[in-house]
Structures are given as structure tokens and as C-alpha cells.
Amino acid sequence: MATTTTTTTTTTVLVTGADGFIGRNLVVFLASRNFKVIAASRTVSAFGHPSVVTASLPDLAMPFDWQPLLERCDIVVHLAGIAHRFADEEQYDLVNHRATDALAKAACRQQKHLVFVSSIAAQSGSFSEQELTEEAPPKPTNSYGRSKLAAEQSVRASGVSFTILRPVVMYGQGEKGNFQGEKGNFSIIHKISRLPIPLPFGALTARRSVLSVDNFSSAVVMVLTEPRARGEMFIVSDPMPLTVSDLISRRRAAMGHSPWLVPIPESWIKLFLAALGSNEIWHRIGKPLIARPTKLLALGWQPT
């Protein structure tokens, strides 16, 4: 569990998108650290914690009056949106950009602080030959990333007190104890790690930044309780990038097995995936994406 600072006064945090993998973990994490939480989502489910109450959200593609919810909280953590499923440019824009813009303007009128959870996709495509930093010009390559970047720009322009987080791909335990991760990346790694066969990934050398959901939650607590985080944007990731080989080895070690990785040349794997029309998979396992949390660490963040 990541190291965090427990609040000394009770703060009520509205968490949108509380029914997802990240949201459910964040709600429980905040409640365990003396925050009161309003868990808002389209699918309302019980959390079984005395510091958590639930609230219903509509389809954010439709206009919504945020004021009643904002009147009940001190701070908003905005997670809700469309992520990593089929949607066209207009849907991404409506839900990820326009709804965030409306929330930011409403939060400004209510004088609430907004923590907007964006994505590293607002800054880069699925790989980058250069290490990513907060100062680098953003270059999103898909509709999802463009909608997140547009939402960031709307938050900045709204006049609201804000902090923007750009997390990399996340992993952790789901509500039923199942290993989960954004886009299914880590779920796939977990599944193939369980196969009782050698795997051809021993020679993969590209390192990629990843983020445990506990470290993400501790980063949220950090920016909620640190005044110097206001008006800033932070990349959020575990400090040490890993290769796919590292990830599989760790999963197999956790199950008491040897890594059993065969060093097949990278060029063979790349050609095989290209023949299958799966270049995007190669970009995610054979190409680098390093985004270090240097700025957040300088603020005093202490991840595991």
C-alpha cells in the first residue's frame, strides 16, 4: 500500500465514474483515509463503508445540472468518461470533453476544486521514442486522446481551481479479487502468464511506464492535500518502467512458477504480428513508452 498523508479534517470528495475499476478502488482508498466520499456513477452499487454515499449520474452525453451534487462536496475528482471502447469522434467529444467543460464551469461557479483525471493518451500515442514529460508538447494520436486534451484545455480556460493528472496504463485487483487493467493489457498478461507453456517474450527490451491503482489513489490523496498541486498538471506512473518480460516474470513468480520465457528475436515477433494485422499490439509490447512521475515525486509523493 502506498504511503500517504491522512487528512486532519473531514473533506467531502465527489468521485465521478465511481463504478469502474479505478473509481471503485479510489473510493475505498479515500474513505479509508478519513475522507467522506460521494460515489457518483451511472450504475449505483453499495460500497459498505460508513463514509461513502452513492449518487446517480445520467448519460454524460446529455446536458446535466451538476449544481445539486456540487453543493454537497468540497472537491471533485472527475473520472467519468468513455475510455477504450468503440466510440466515434463525436461521442468522445461529448462525454470526455463537453461534459468535463460543463462540470468545470459549474465547479467554478460553486468555488470547488476540480481534480481532472486525464490520460497519458492526451500527450502521446501508444509509444514514444522520447521520454514523456509534462513540458513536452502534447501529440495525441486517437479520438480518445484528443478528447482528453480538449477537456484539459477546457478545465484550464474555465477559471476553476484545478489539478490535472495524466496517468499511464493502470493495473491492480478488481472488486472480486480479479487482476484488472485498463484496455485489458494487464488482464491479458495475467492470463497468458498462467499458461503452462514457455512464452516467446524473453528478448523484449522496450520499457513501458505502468501504474498500480493503489499508487494512483495515493497520488490523488497527495494532490487533494497539497496546496502546491493547484493549477498544475502531473504525469502519474510507478517510478520504475518495466518490460513485458518483467511483467510476465513477476506474475509467474507470484504464482510460484519460473519465468519460462524464450528469447525469440524481436524482429520475428514484429513480423508475426504484422502478418496478423496486429501492429498496434507490437507498439504496446515492443516499443517504449516511458513517462516518469518526476514532478509529482518532487512535490513529496511517496509511491510504493
How far is residue 26 from each of residues 4, 19, 209, measured CA to CA in Å?
Answer: 13, 10, 20
Q: What is the pLDDT of residue 57?
A: 95
Domain at 12-171+211-236, CATH from 3.40.50.720, 3.30.70.600, 3.40.50.620, 3.30.70.20:
3.40.50.720
Helices then strands (H, E): number in the chain? 11, 10
The per-residue pLDDT for range 37-69, each reduced to its tens digit, is 999 999 887 888 999 999 999 999 999 999 999
**Is the sign of the CA dihedral 217, 223, 224, 225 positive or negative?**
positive
- Average per-residue pLDDT in the chain? 90
Kindly report the backbone phi and psi dihedral angles of residue 172, in degrees, each rounded to the nearest multiple of 5, phi listed first: 160, -170
Is the pTM higher than 0.85? yes
Cell of 276: 496478423
Tens digits of residue pLDDT in 114-160: 999 999 999 999 999 999 999 999 999 999 999 999 999 999 999 99
When pLDDT is averaged across residues 67-90 and rounded to a whole number, the result is: 90
Instruction: Please report, for the chain, the start and end positions of each structural domain, with discontinuous segments joined by +.
Output: 12-171+211-236, 173-207+242-285
